[in-house]
Amino acid sequence: MKKPLTIVKIGGNVIDNSEQLHYFLEDFSALPGDKILVHGGGKVATELGVSMGVEAKMVDGRRITDIHTLRIVTMAYAGLINKNIVAQLQARYCNAIGLTGADGNTIKAVKRPVKTIDYGFVGDLDEHSIAVDTISSLLNAKLVPVFCAITHDGDTQLLNTNADTIASAIAVAMSAAYDTTLIYCFEKKGVLRDVDDESSILSEIRLDEFAALQESGVISGGMIPKLHNAFEAIKSGVKEVYIGHADELLKQGAQQGTRLTQ
Amino acid sequence: MKKPLTIVKIGGNVIDNSEQLHYFLEDFSALPGDKILVHGGGKVATELGVSMGVEAKMVDGRRITDIHTLRIVTMAYAGLINKNIVAQLQARYCNAIGLTGADGNTIKAVKRPVKTIDYGFVGDLDEHSIAVDTISSLLNAKLVPVFCAITHDGDTQLLNTNADTIASAIAVAMSAAYDTTLIYCFEKKGVLRDVDDESSILSEIRLDEFAALQESGVISGGMIPKLHNAFEAIKSGVKEVYIGHADELLKQGAQQGTRLTQ
């Protein structure tokens, strides 16, 4: 039987709220067994850019990571946010180790090819980008990896990378050796039947129900790619995926978000 | 017989010069056996402070780490400098992993007590601050730890810490399990008989010669505390200490700096 492994992803809505981050890290520390945290960015990168006079660069509504932006996100994500999360987890006796994909060559991405838009220093990756052996060594040493959304290309270049993608790639890759559960914390309590009614949570969606829920319009908009990616992870070996609010999703015996399974 | 372990410390004079850093990382990658890199800061932290409007705070000629400065050094040292060094080592097939003392609780320091001066968020440490088991686990996983000069107090607080002290504390602590060699790269080629003559290098100083060299005035000024600390490390178990220029100290068969021994 494989050992269980939980991969949790948090974004700006948790990171930017120090009280919410505090409670989240308390719950995360209390999670039993092997676990990995993946965090996105937050307002601090934007604020840092403003204070340094570097404007966010957009092309056709897409954010571009030029060399100045890459410096800023490296400082904000890999430095300030990652190390403060690690120090806070350590204070809760969770033996966290903060990493970019360059550290231990844990995530080797590819700079996004230029087609119509040059996204700049952005990394694309999949489950084959993940160094399963190195991450397993860290887990076996009773360490808790905390990944920020920076990877590298193996040829000296750091790359800005989507944290959701990192979390699912790690979950899929680690599934060969572990029973993996992937938990996406986001701003809603789960997948809702009625987007304006936080109590209308769908407690479970099976892979074979997904298409029907899309057709009937219950799942629409931004939830479609999110759930599509989650089910792709499940098809590739992840045991289950939870989507919901950080406040509730990690509490023992109170997993009130939406559970996605085969 | 114990396994050999080399701990190398570099400072701003290497970090701030991209060509020198390039050659140093080439030499460091080629070093055989288990190894650890410790790096100090560099101009980038000062520049970052200027661009963010945070002035270096001095009291009685001493630099103070207030909360703004701590944020800046965390971003610059743990983020920008550390991760770029790691990415450059990875490109040379050196499996580097960048760390602060918070990561894996590897270095738990104590905030410097306020006596006449409040230094702010500065950490003091000694060999008992070092998590030998965790660092050994990383080395056993064939990883190369790269420490920046940030530690923590175990109670959520990150601390700015002297990189020379980190290097010697790691070397002393790891001596219980390894034959440790400590290499300090600095701006001179070694300990010089004549400070203005770079060819007057003392190739070796034994512990029992140190006092006489001080009395005769051959060793003076800033070299006294540097050598004092090095000999303290030797008295506490470090096998040998090299002091000299990064260009020459790491080259195989060309260790031209000053070698300090028992």
- Asked whether the beta carbons of residue A52 and residue B52 sit closer than 8 angstroms, the reply is yes
Indicate if the pLDDT at residue A60 is higher than 80: no
- Asked whether the beta carbons of residue B141 and residue A134 sit closer than 8 angstroms, the reply is yes
Q: How far apart, in whole angstroms, are the C-alpha atoms of residue B231 and residue B125?
A: 17
Indicate if the pLDDT at residue A75 is higher than 90: yes
pLDDT, average across residues B18-46: 94
pLDDT, average across residues B38-64: 86
Share in percent of chain B as helix, strand, coil (round to 5): 40, 25, 35
- Residue-level length of chain B: 262
Residue of B nearest to A104 (CA): B97
ipTM here = 0.95
Residue of A nearest to B95 (CA): A104
135-154 of A, contacting B, C-beta below 8 A: 137-138, 141, 143, 150, 152, 154
Indicate if the pLDDT at residue A251 is higher than 90: no
**Annotated binding residue at A63?**
yes
Cβ pair A146, A99 in contact under 8 A: yes
What 3-state class would DSSP assign to B137? helix
Q: Place B252 in a pLDDT band, splitting at 50, 70 and 90.
A: low
pLDDT of residue B156: 98
Q: How far apart, in whole angstroms, are the C-alpha atoms of residue A76 and residue B228?
A: 38
- Asked whether the beta carbons of residue A91 and residue B143 sit closer than 8 angstroms, the reply is no
**Annotated binding residue at B229?**
no
pLDDT of residue A101: 98
pLDDT, average across residues A129-158: 98
pLDDT of residue A204: 94
| All structural domains of chain B with their residue ranges | 3-185
Over residues B147-182, the pLDDT tens digits come to 999 999 999 999 999 999 999 999 999 999 999 999
Q: What are the DSSP E strand ranges found in chain A?
A: 3-10, 34-39, 57-59, 62-64, 96-99, 110-111, 123-124, 144-147, 150-152, 158-160, 178-185, 204-206, 240-244, 258-261
pLDDT, average across residues A202-228: 90
pLDDT, average across residues B102-106: 98
pLDDT of residue A254: 59
pLDDT, average across residues A81-110: 98
Q: In A223-251, which positions are buried (b, 16+ CB within 10 angstroms) versus exposed (e)? A: beebbebbbebbeebbbbbbbbbbbbbbe
Q: Place B17 in a pLDDT band, splitting at 50, 70 and 90.
A: very high
- How far apart are the CA of A237 and the nearest CA of chain B, in angstroms? 26
Q: How far apart, in whole angstroms, are the C-alpha atoms of residue A14 and residue A26?
A: 13
Over residues A109-123, the pLDDT tens digits come to 999 999 999 999 999
Q: Place B253 in a pLDDT band, splitting at 50, 70 and 90.
A: low
Please state the three-class secondary structure of B148-195 as a single string: CCEEECCCCCEEECCHHHHHHHHHHHHCCCEEEEEEEECCCCCCECCC
Q: How far apart, in whole angstroms, are the C-alpha atoms of residue A194 and residue A247?
A: 20
Over residues B188-224, the pLDDT tens digits come to 899 988 888 888 899 999 999 999 999 998 888 888 8
What's the sign of the alpha-carbon dihedral A160, A163, A164, A165? Answer: positive
Token pair belonging to B79: 């983020």
What 3-state class would DSSP assign to A94? coil
pLDDT of residue A135: 98
- How far apart are the CA of B70 and the nearest CA of chain A, in angstroms? 10
CATH of domain A3-185: 3.40.1160.10
pLDDT, average across residues A159-175: 97
Q: Which residues of chain A make contact with B90, given a CB cutoff of 8 A?
A: 102, 105, 152, 154, 156
**Annotated binding residue at A217?**
no
- Burial of B154 (C-beta count, 10 Å sphere; 0-12/13-18/19+): middle
What's the sign of the alpha-carbon dihedral B202, B206, B209, B215? Answer: positive
pLDDT, average across residues B107-111: 98
Token pair belonging to B46: 């000062």
Indicate if the pLDDT at residue A255 is higher than 70: no
- Asked whether the beta carbons of residue B87 and residue A156 sit closer than 8 angstroms, the reply is yes
Q: Is B99 on the interface with A (CB under 8 A)?
A: yes
Q: How far apart, in whole angstroms, are the C-alpha atoms of residue A159 and residue B44?
A: 20
Q: How far apart, in whole angstroms, are the C-alpha atoms of residue A85 and residue B72?
A: 16
Indicate if the pLDDT at residue B88 is higher than 80: yes
pLDDT, average across residues B11-16: 93
